[in-house]
Amino acid sequence: MTFPILSVIIFSPIVAALIILMMPAERKTEIRVMALMTAVFALLLSLWVYLTYDQSLAGYQFIEKYDWMPAFGISLHLGVDGISTPLVLLTGVVMFTGVIISWGIEDRPREFFAFLFLLASGVFGVFVALDLFMLFFFYEIAVFPMYLLIAIWGWVKTREYAAMKLTLYLFIGSVVALLGALAMYFQSGMGTFDMLMLETANFSPEFQKIWFLPVFLGFAVLGGIWPFHNWSPDGHVAAPTAVSMFHAGVLMKLGAFAALRVGIMLLPEGAKFWAPLILMLALVNVVYGAFIAMIQTDLKYMIGFSSVSHMGLVMLGFATLTEQGMTGAGVQMFSHGVMTALFFAATGMVYDRAHTRKIPELGGMIKPLPWVGFAFIIGGLVSMGMPGFSGFVAEFPIFMGVWQVKPWVAILAVISIVITAAYIMLAIRRTFFGEMPKEFEGHITPIKAIDKVALVLLSGLMIGLGIFPGIMVPMVQSGIQNVLRILGGA
Amino acid sequence: MDFLYNHLLSIILFFPAVAAILVVFLPNGEDKLARWVAFIASLVPFALTLVLWANFDATNAGTFQFEETYVWYSTINSNFHIGVDGISLSMVLLTTLLTPLAILASFNIKEKVKAYMMLFLFLEMGMLGVFLSMDLLIFFVFWEIGLVPMYFLINQWGSENRNYASLKFMIYTVGGSLGLLLAIQLLGVLFGTYDIAAITEGWTALNSGMVMGMPVATVKIVAFWAFVVAFAIKVPVWPFHTWLPDAHTEAPVAGSMILAGVLLKLGAYGFIRLVLPLYPAESAQFAGWLAFLAVMAIVFGAFGAYGQWDFKRLVAYSSVNHMGFVLLGIAAAAKAPGTASAHIAMNGAILQMFNHGISAAAMFFLVGVIYERTHTRDLKKYGGLFPLIPVFGGILIFASMSSLGLPGLNGFVSEFLVVRGAWAEMAGFTAAGMIGLLFTGAYILKGIKNVLHGPLNEEWAHGDHKISDINLREVLVMLPLMALMLSLGIAPAWLLGVINNAVTALF
């Protein structure tokens, strides 16, 4: 029997969370070391999956299947394809860097790491689940700890409001999507939740047209699609650094990924019918998000709205239903995940020292925090879609896809690039350059060596992918080709 | 050696980037070391360019040589495809020559030396990449990459108003490239490749039918202007030039040298490499408009320069004036492709790019030299400095004469060729441009007069502000430039021959 690597990836964080919970609360250092070891383990495993995924074969690999509730046709069916493999790696990376960034948490680190790992388990689970029920199961597992993490460890001023808002939004979205899933279960008459089986169910076009929107939008809420994006910036801002990283870096991808996996892949006719609408909504995301980001004075709100804009590009790519557009969207999920994780890590490091995130109150941070400044600049360049960085590699095919569907949408969406350039450059200048306000003199302590590891890893991934798109794009493309086969065959 | 010859272009292109990374890892505080490492590292691409020049088959300058192709982005079928022909070779030479000089000119930079040198080397890579690309997407990649180091050079080492100037530079250029980006995407979607040769072939052959639900002719005209605007902003052509005086004035000395010396050429190169080959019909159709814009740039650039009392701004506006001649030559070549006039005008345009590169870099450097001593750029505050700084004065006059277009120096040759070529096609515009040439003389003389002649401003003669003459390092920066000005003025054949062979084959 082969090593069940995917289930180990999913369940090892939960096991680690249990072990951590059993450790004495005052042994903070041991708890942190345990957390770090778990994260390294998960990172290595996800890297292993990424490196050994056989692109020439494509399709689902590392498949595992165990009966769970055979009476209802539910099984623990796991597997990764070219789309989810990079996302598993992304989760491993964000988990690892998130733990590093949270090293300094003094308030109940034991519970914090336990919840964080529960969240990570859920996220891994969604990405590798091939069973619709399991996908929902892990989806809720991922959303629930978010509430606690924000409400307990979040920013005092808004955490209760933001946690409540976020959770309600996401639950409503997932309930709507769940309705669609149940409808599919009963309509298919196959008595199974297995998505690979449901793909072959041949739902009637009318059924697909009715249920596509609830399913897609229900998940897309978590992807931050306009007009349901409202929870996301508030959540970003209120969450502690590592949770923001998870939230923007990985959790929003859950929404987009599930919308693709369940919405587009199971209801392809519905996708074709509603794609123009999704395209419009995503266009609003892209342009409106950029404009709103421009007027923010709080760094975290700015990044939050820039996420709305960038996730719009993901949706835009999916809605083209073309090979290039969807491939770009898949890569954008990874690129944006790494980028926002880096942004939030850097912002967190500044905030921890300056105790403010207001852009006008900051300045001159590059001197005491050169690594953070460089990392932020690299993140900014990715965000602008500067060639040579991963953002360009991801966004360019998306635009090519849009050209094939609706040229004028591409022409409008491209406006966001110059807006993004403006606000990113202004934020970089005002935060990291210029005069440092007097009150910070001597308070800005250098970052720890371990923080540098996180910054370098995240920046390196974006530069590496930007210079050598071949290390990821063909893999995503192989996954997308499968989606296109479904779209074409239905 | 085989390896060297087979990968000569990628080595020239990426050596600066490797050196830039090396500079980052030098120990902190060792400013002198960082300067010398950067300077020596920038000499390597120059030496290799000389090797390239020596091995370049000048008789076939119209075909790409030293080509290299590697798969870059297979999903969208874009390859890392580079090569040089006679036109790009002259621009590569200009770039690799000016970069070491600019770095040498920056030896007086005291703050954040490592970061400065790193950005400069990255900038060199970005510029070289544009000149070498044979793939449209790679072209765009390098086109945009160059912005980032320039932004930070202006923003971090510039003078008082640098924040405004750097952001304006960034927004103008990024905004201007949006149309280019969209048009490139359109071409990529249409032809499924980004290879410039393949796209040119397909796009010029496509003359009827519908593209993206619109008639081909309409799409072509829109895409033509998208290309034109992106490149016109970079050149810069009136009325898109307003970012330039700000960026130049605020940039550090060496930044201005490279900005005027090479970055502006990227725009003109875009016209020559992409606009004319991709849109021959549209270029001919709108040649009159381009010529009109060029003449406006020549005339208003000259008037603008004459109106300045800030020495650096004066030189900045002179760039608008001189680059107008480049566009005039291009417009004339676009109007009547294949004719002798077109070839002469295009030769003039490309030679003018090279000439303006060296003379503008020299002028900006000299402004920097005197600014460093007086801490003012106000022409009213100088006066009668010739006796105090005779060597500087001589060099300034020499460089100014090159800029003015004095026969015997380089500027005359190229401007004459442009005018000679353009006259047959568009006599009216050319004649109007000559008025601009008249004012070129006026503003150059205004600069010289206010700095060197007239009553001596006593402030610089005695005491704390006593002015010192140009030093050895600064002379060393000027020497190669002056040698080129003179040699291209007397015997331009060594450069013009290569350019001409390419031009006659291509246009």
Number of domains in chain A: 1
pLDDT tens sequence across B91-136: 999 999 999 999 999 888 888 888 899 999 999 999 999 999 999 9
Inform me whether the C-beta atom of residue B24 falls under 8 Å from chain A C-beta atoms: no
Residue B66 phi/psi, 5-degree rounding, is 55, 35
What is the C-alpha separation between B129 and B147, in angstroms, rounded?
A: 13
* Contact call for residues B162 and A425 (beta carbons, < 8 A): no
Token digits for A225? 């699609």
What is the C-alpha separation between B226 and B222, in angstroms, rounded?
A: 6
Buried b (16+ CB within 10 A) or exposed e, B420-430: bbbbbbbeebb
What is the C-alpha separation between B136 and B138, in angstroms, rounded?
A: 5
User: Which residues of A make CB contacts under 8 Å with B?
Assistant: 324, 327, 381, 384, 386-388, 392-393, 396-397, 399-400, 403-404, 407, 410-411, 414-415, 417-418, 421-422, 425-426, 429, 433, 469-470, 473-474, 477
Q: Give me the residue from B73, B141, B156 closest to A388, CB to CB.
A: B141
**What's the gap between Cα B412 and its chain centre?**
18
Give the residue ranges of DSSP H helices in A355-448: 370-383, 390-405, 407-413, 415-432
Region B167-183: mean pLDDT is: 88
pLDDT tens sequence across B422-440: 888 888 888 888 888 888 8
What is the C-alpha separation between A350 and B220, in angstroms, rounded?
A: 49
What is the C-alpha separation between A46 and A85, in angstroms, rounded?
A: 8
Inform me whether the C-beta atom of residue B222 falls under 8 Å from chain A C-beta atoms: no
* Contact check, Cβ <8 Å, A425/B186: no
Inform me whether the C-beta atom of residue B150 falls under 8 Å from chain A C-beta atoms: no
* Contact call for residues A145 and A115 (beta carbons, < 8 A): yes
Q: How much is the ipTM here?
A: 0.87
Buried b (16+ CB within 10 A) or exposed e, A52-86: ebeeeebebbbebeeebeeeebbbbbbbbbbbbbb
Residues of chain B with C-beta less than 8 angstroms from the C-beta of A335: none
* Contact check, Cβ <8 Å, A403/B189: yes
* Contact call for residues A326 and A486 (beta carbons, < 8 A): no
Residue B457 phi/psi, 5-degree rounding, is -80, 110
3-class state of residue A157 by DSSP: coil
Q: Please, which residues 406-445 of chain B have a Cβ atom closer than 8 Å to chain A?
A: none
Residues of chain A with C-beta less than 8 angstroms from the C-beta of B156: 433
Residue A1: its pLDDT value, please? Answer: 52
* Contact check, Cβ <8 Å, A425/B73: no
Buried b (16+ CB within 10 A) or exposed e, B163-201: bebbbbbbbbbbbbbbbbbbbbbbbbbbbebbbbeebbe
Residue A152: its pLDDT value, please? Answer: 84
The mean predicted confidence, pLDDT, of chain B is 89
Identify which has the larger pLDDT, B141 or A158.
B141
**Closest-CA residue to B99 (of B26, B151, B40):** B40
Token digits for B205? 């052959």
Minimum Cα–Cα distance from A323: chain B residue: B75
Residues whose CB falls within 8 Å of the CB of residue A127, separated by 6 or more in sequence, listed in order: A80, A84, A87, A88, A91, A254, A257
Torsion of CA A281, A283, A287, A292, to 10 degrees: 20
Q: Regarding beta strands B214-215 and B210-211, do their DSSP bridges make them parallel or antiparallel, or are they unpaired? A: antiparallel
For residue B147, the one-letter residue type is L
Residue B265: its pLDDT value, please? Answer: 92
Residues of chain A with C-beta less than 8 angstroms from the C-beta of B194: none
**In Å, what is the CA distance from A464 to each residue of A253, A457, A460, B293, B403?**
21, 10, 6, 42, 44
**What's the gap between Cα A335 and its chain centre?**
9
* Contact check, Cβ <8 Å, A400/B178: no
Residue A490: its pLDDT value, please? Answer: 44
What is the C-alpha separation between A481 and A326, in angstroms, rounded?
A: 9
Percentage with pLDDT > 70 across chain B: 100
Token digits for A291? 């404009």
* Contact check, Cβ <8 Å, B141/A392: yes
Torsion of CA A461, A465, A466, A469, to 10 degrees: 180
User: What angle separates helix A268-294 from helix A205-220, to the nearest 10 degrees?
Assistant: 30
Q: Give me the residue from A392, A393, A422 closest to B171, CB to CB.
A: A422
The tens-digit pLDDT sequence of chain A (490 residues) is 578 888 899 999 999 989 988 888 788 888 888 889 999 999 999 999 999 988 888 788 888 888 888 888 888 888 999 999 999 999 999 999 989 888 877 788 888 888 889 999 999 999 999 998 889 889 888 888 888 888 888 887 888 888 888 888 888 888 888 888 888 888 888 888 888 888 888 888 888 888 888 888 888 888 888 888 888 888 888 888 888 888 888 988 988 999 998 888 888 888 889 999 999 999 999 999 999 998 888 888 899 899 999 999 999 999 999 999 999 999 999 999 999 999 999 988 888 888 888 888 888 888 888 889 899 999 999 998 888 899 999 999 999 999 988 888 988 998 888 899 889 988 888 888 878 888 877 778 888 888 888 899 999 999 999 999 989 999 999 999 888 888 885 4
Q: Please say whether the dihedral angle defined by the alpha carbons of residues B255, B258, B261 and B266, taken in this order, is positive or negative.
A: negative
* Contact check, Cβ <8 Å, A400/B189: yes
pLDDT tens sequence across A107-121: 888 888 888 899 999
Domain residue limits at A74: 5-489
Q: Which of B74, B145, B185, B229 to mutate to test the interface with A (most CBs of A within 10 A)?
A: B185
**In Å, what is the CA distance from A2 to each residue of A12, A62, A84, A97?**
17, 9, 20, 29
